[in-house]
Structure 1
Amino acid sequence: MGWVACWFIPAILQVVRKHLCLRHDLRGFDGGPSACSRKGCVSLSSCSEAVSMSKVLPAADTLPTVGKKLLKGRRYGLIAHGASITSRGKLILEFLEDAGIEPPQVIFTPEHGLFGEYAYMEPVPSDEKGWRGVPIISLYGSSFESLAPPQRTLSNLDCLVFDLQDIGARYYTYLATMAISMEACARAGVQFVVLDRPNPIGLSDIEGNIPKPYLRSFVSYLDVPNRHGLTAGEVARFFAYKRGLDLDLLVVECAGLVRPMQLPDTSLPFCPPSPNINDFECALLYPGLCLLEGTNLSEGRGTTTPFKVFGAPFIEDPFAFCARLNEFGLEGVAFKPLFFVPKYDKWAGKRCGGVQAVVLDRRKIKPLLVGLCIVWTAMHIYREGFQWRREPYEFEERWLACDLLFGDETIKTLIEMATSPFEVYEYMNAQSKSFVEESRDFFIYPDSV
């Protein structure tokens, strides 16, 4: 970046304010009937039998009622995975059969495959025999082009149904799969139906910046912050608007969901949506700990606690590293020193000094800030060992993985030059102020009952 960075980065650091935290301002949003009557939304609350079953219900629970009317006599495809379950833990493919609905013409699977059997960035094969004779087409192959449903397949469908469990982070790739599929359906003139699910880490808090258009990739495909505070259905509506899609979009909403709810508030079971998100706390920490994928620090892959532990062999004294992190006094989290040996991925078979992030208060923790504090501290303490990841990342070779994850190539320089990670956090949050205002028009769920 040369002389531009020398002038521009310090200028940024002078104008950011300390400890800025953005929250959705829900004033003026009527979460009553209008939230259900908005064009392109179907309310689950009309299904009285279903509502009595659970506090919150995913849209998949509508299949015996709304789903039957929507899919009867239609040729449809289904984007699903192992976490596409009902409130009672029934896999959607089995639930369709139980509801007396004809099976889909084709099943599309995202990264990690139908049952989460493939590692991250591992190509997922298609399967002509598929699920009980229904062919399975992979939406995660060996190239960026493989991420979209083939037009020749869409030409034989009336609608495409999406039911994947997101975890509320821009770089968690399932909503990028949704967005790319929406674009493909718009080109093919095929209706796109979202069976909505709760965002497990809640809808009240956002953190982060909006990616720069020229850094668009599979982990920065959406114009949303790192922690976006939306459901899949809300993201679909926002994305269709931002991209000006000529698309017949229908969102079947959840029942009983309000914005402050996190998964533990819903009474719904946690079903791991991917191999390394094995519980709620993994999902909660992911918007911050995923940034470590852009470095040579292990993010805990190859251990039983991915996205909770992190470290590297060059961290010889994890107690000192841990003490520095605890000095930040971050709300809702504490750091505990440890050693671990990853069985695969970064530093496989090598003893790593590291730290475990212990969630103390799920409502107060700011996971993106946690991740920035980890990266900033590791970079400034271990200057000889810390490195940005250089290998190709998610089909992209032109940019570093950290640039794609940040969505802004200047942030790594900010981290290098900032006197504290809070300065970087303030810079990132300040960029998403417009998103707070703009996204409100696409909310489906109210702030309270």
Structure 2
Amino acid sequence: PYFRETLPGETPGKKLDAMTNATVIEVLNPLNKPKAEDLADAELLIIDIQDIGLRYFNYVTLLAQFLDLARENQLPVILLDRPNPIGGNTISGPVLEVDFRSQFGVYPIPLVYGMTFGELSLFFNKVFGIGANLTVIGMEGYRRDFTFRDTGLHWVPPSDHLPEPETPLYYAITGFLGEMGVFSTGVGTTRPFHYILAPWIDGELLSQRLARHQLTGMKFIPAAVKQFYGLYQLKRTPGIEIVIDDPQQFDPFISGVAILRTLWELYPDKIPLANPAISTSLDTLLGGPQVRSAIQKGIPLFQILAMIQPRLVEFRKRRESFLIYPEN
């Protein structure tokens, strides 16, 4: 999003920054990067973006595109680093399979990658051979175990549905679930991504079943919430609320999979994983069909977690060389 006021330009569709009169180029699809001629008079590319630490958030793909654009145009890049609101230590979820590249991820990294945007840019630039002339300006006083609130900085929402600095933690759990479109994750409430809601969900039963998994750092409680727009608009809808007690201990991916697997066990007719549209949505965001297929086969949660570990171990090793801030 572009946060400052814009003015109409001389030609239709052109926008100008109200303060500097500079041309504003809005990138709505991260796969559609600016054209070379858009940067004809540029001497430097500065990247100053608040990322949220999640592979399928558009800014990650946008970062890769900007680095590639800078290399093509022989422009030096300066990236101003910012905190990772999910945390600099949290690595979770499957590594993207190359066949599932999309606007939700172009390079094989985990769902939650445990790096700041500056560290990720260094990783992309070297490991995947982009080769841009990149300089990262690091943060002073930042620690990997900081939550965003620990930094004392003001949170400017990078998206309308990420209103609080804690929201990205919940988005990491339910973001890929919401793409199925068969239940609500709370978008349309005052707390997006904090809920799993549908008229057919028994919140008491679902929370009890999820408690059996003994997931660390979080809990599930029955809820009934009114949505102001989206699915079940203006209806008080039953379900569960997700509560993260310890951001350092919870695993966003396995928490999301536990929710999906439990819903599928309780309400198989409402969770049509074999439906092509739904399976494509899930596979695209998760980075491959492995997890969905495992759920359909009834594979236990701990085995699903074990399945993705080899590539996560490999990623952790490659990641070490690009960390600006030491691990605690």
Equivalent residue for 2:9?
A: none
Match of 2:249 among 361, 364, 369: 364
SS at 2:99 equivalent: helix
2:103 is the alignment partner of 1:218: yes
Quick one: distance in 1 between partners of 2:191 and 2:275?
Answer: 25
Equivalent residue for 2:297?
A: 417
Equivalent residue for 1:114?
A: 2
2:324 is the alignment partner of 1:444: yes
SS at 1:445 equivalent: coil
2:47 is the alignment partner of 1:162: yes
Residues 4, 17 of structure 2: 8 Å contact kept: no
Shift of 1:281: 2.5
Residues 112, 172 of structure 2: 8 Å contact kept: yes
Where do 1:95-110 residues align within 5 Å? none
Where do 1:36-75 residues align within 5 Å? none
Residue type of the alignment partner of 2:17: G
Match of 2:86 among 179, 188, 201: 201
Residues 86, 147 of structure 2: 8 Å contact kept: yes
Aligned residues: 320
Quick one: distance in 2 between partners of 1:346 and 1:159?
Answer: 44
Match of 2:212 among 315, 318, 327: 327
Residues 183, 197 of structure 2: 8 Å contact kept: yes
SS at 1:207 equivalent: strand
Residues 85, 166 of structure 2: 8 Å contact kept: no
Quick one: distance in 2 between partners of 1:392 and 1:247?
Answer: 37
Q: 1:360 to 1:126 in 2, by over 3 A?
A: farther
Where does structure 2 lack aligned partners over 5 or more consecutive residues?
A: 6-11
Shift of 1:282: 1.4
Q: 1:178 to 1:145 in 2, by over 3 A?
A: closer
SS at 1:226 equivalent: strand
Shift of 1:259: 2.1
2:320 is the alignment partner of 1:432: no
Equivalent residue for 1:63?
A: none
- Max Rg structure: 1
Where do 1:28-427 residues align within 5 Å? 113-115=1-3, 127-132=14-19, 133-141=21-29, 145-146=31-32, 148-295=33-180, 296-315=182-201, 317-388=202-273, 400-427=280-307
CA deviation map 1:88-138 (0-9, x unaligned): xxxxxxxxxxxxxxxxxxxxxxxxx21399xxxxxxx96523333222111
Quick one: distance in 1 between partners of 2:224 and 2:4?
Answer: 28
CA deviation map 1:368-415 (0-9, x unaligned): 12111111111111111123597979xxxxx71111111012221111
CA deviation map 1:313-332 (0-9, x unaligned): 221x2111111112221111
SS at 1:138 equivalent: coil
Quick one: distance in 2 between partners of 1:155 and 1:442?
Answer: 31
Residue type of the alignment partner of 1:377: T
SS at 2:25 equivalent: strand
Residues 314, 352 of structure 1: 8 Å contact kept: no
Q: 1:115 to 1:390 in 2, by over 3 A?
A: farther
Equivalent residue for 1:95?
A: none
Residue type of the alignment partner of 2:300: S
Q: 1:165 to 1:126 in 2, by over 3 A?
A: farther
Tell me the percent identity.
28
Shift of 1:284: 1.6
Residues 313, 350 of structure 1: 8 Å contact kept: no
Higher normalized contact order (CA 8 Å, seq sep 6+, divided by chain length) = 1
Quick one: distance in 2 between partners of 1:405 and 1:126?
Answer: 32
SS at 1:314 equivalent: coil
Shift of 1:145: 5.0
Quick one: distance in 2 between partners of 1:345 and 1:192?
Answer: 40
Quick one: distance in 2 between partners of 1:211 and 1:331?
Answer: 25
SS at 2:110 equivalent: coil
Quick one: distance in 1 between partners of 2:22 and 2:13?
Answer: 11
Deviates more, 1:167-176 or 1:346-355: 346-355
Q: 1:392 to 1:384 in 2, by over 3 A?
A: closer
SS at 1:166 equivalent: coil
Q: 1:131 to 1:406 in 2, by over 3 A?
A: same
Deviates more, 1:373-382 or 1:339-348: 339-348
CA deviation map 1:328-368 (0-9, x unaligned): 21111111111224333334345532110012222221121
Shift of 1:272: 1.9
Quick one: distance in 2 between partners of 1:311 and 1:417?
Answer: 25
Shift of 1:246: 3.0
Residues 184, 196 of structure 2: 8 Å contact kept: yes
Shift of 1:258: 2.4
Q: 1:343 to 1:428 in 2, by over 3 A?
A: farther
Q: What value does the CA root-mean-square deviation take over the aligned residues? A: 2.4
Where does structure 1 lack aligned partners over 5 or more consecutive residues?
A: 1-112, 118-124, 394-398
Quick one: distance in 2 between partners of 1:440 and 1:200?
Answer: 20
